[in-house]
Amino acid sequence: MALDLETREQLIDMVRRFVAERLRPIEAKVAEDDAVPAEVVEEMKGLGLFGLSIPEEFGGLGLNMEEECLVGIELGRASPAFRSVFGTNVGIGSQGLVMFGTDDQKAKWLPGIASGEIVTSFALTEPEAGSDSGAVQTRATRDGDDYVLNGGKRFITNAGKASLFTVMARTNPDAKGGSGVSAFLVPRDLPGLEVSKPEKKMGQQGAHIHDVSFDNVRVPAWNRLGEEGEGFKVAMQVLDRGRLHISAVCVGVAERLIADCVAYASERKQFGAPLASFQMVQAMIADSKTEALAARALVLETARLRDTGAGVTLEAAAAKLFASEMVGRVADRAVQIFGGAGYVADYGIERLYRDVRIFRIYEGASEIQKLVIARETLKRGG
């Protein structure tokens, strides 16, 4: 159920102040240390950020998609590493359980996910299964009341801190593509599950990704999400929501960059006049503002459509494609407007330039979004 307007505005204002007063001042330190301070994580838990999308009956805020996107836009105004701390709990790490879990599964895990006591991860990507998510080779072989998992996953966000993984594994080796894949809830402490050291990344320092391996990991059949062979269905529905969430964050980053550009261009002088007085600078600001407004409108319209219960696979893919490509262009223009100051670390523009590059890759690369958009458009006949 949607929040009443007053409560929604109070929530957004709270997040906006937390971003401005608590997160933005420590962005450079987080990037340098490659870690979000533990006390900040505890504050995030206290604000309910780990449970934004978890139903109220399990201790979450139970936001609908539009409300989640509005919060995501505000969170995008700080370094994306902060959002990543709880992002998997809000999105891909929990939503399979929310959408497809049994009542008993939900009762066991969702309260801890909502409070932040349990950190979740979504383990789909493999060395040979990235964009081709139906090519999963991690195996889950039935053995009595258990499944035995063997294989490995790559680039898994928050795996280092996760205590529960949603794992996609092939239960039918003879089935082609995603039809032979099932989804499992896999606790971190099961014997045979190993997490590697974090990868060194281009951007988003403070947010970590890891390899995860499974060596004869025995998972109770009770932990399966949905029916056997429904894993691909679980993954795709989870990603529809996740793509909208990421799109909203892209809008927030773009809006922050535009505000930074306006402030800098209004103060910085060249040839005796503020940068903002030059038409070519104005053109870059105008292009960025127009694209950000278009992305915001598309994201929120799609979120509202999803809240009606309508299928939004096409629209979510379009939002993810446009918003992630848009914020890359905005970040590039920001570096240009700041000039040399945009290339050095002092203003944080170069950091955001690097941070936003991943948005065009994860939760479905831009090329995959185009395939989804074309496929769904052809299905609809236009």
Q: Are strands 273-274 and 146-157 parallel, antiparallel or unpaired?
A: unpaired
What residues pair up with 143 in beta bridges, in sequence order? 146
Q: Is the pLDDT of residue 15 over 90?
A: yes
Active site residue 376: no
Report pLDDT for 1: 64
Confidence at 326, pLDDT banded by 50, 70, 90: very high
Q: How far is CA 305 from CA 126, 160, 241, 309, in A?
A: 32, 35, 12, 7
Question: How wide is the angle at C-alpha 363 spanned by C-alphas 8 and 310, nearest 5°?
Answer: 55
Question: How wide is the angle at C-alpha 274 spanned by C-alphas 16 and 284, nearest 5°?
Answer: 65
Condensed to tens digits (0 to 9), the pLDDT of residues 223-273 reads 999 999 999 888 888 888 999 999 999 999 999 999 999 999 999 999 999
Asked whether 371 and 364 are in contact (CB, 8 A), the reply is no
Rounded CA-CA distance 88/120 in Å is: 6
Rounded CA-CA distance 375/382 in Å is: 10
291, 363, 367, 376: which is the annotated catalytic residue? 363
Condensed to tens digits (0 to 9), the pLDDT of residues 129-156 reads 877 777 899 999 999 999 999 999 999 9
Q: How far is CA 175 from CA 132, 170, 216, 226, in A?
A: 15, 9, 22, 18
Report pLDDT for 68: 96
Q: How far apart are the first and last CA of the chain?
A: 32
pTM of this structure: 0.95
Confidence at 179, pLDDT banded by 50, 70, 90: confident
Asked whether 160 and 199 are in contact (CB, 8 A), the reply is no
What residues pair up with 148 in beta bridges, in sequence order? 141, 218
128-132, 161-165, 185-189: least confident range: 128-132
- Which tokens go with 248? 């909203």
How far, rounded to the nearest angstrom, does the alpha carbon of residue 65 sit from its chain's CA centroid?
A: 14
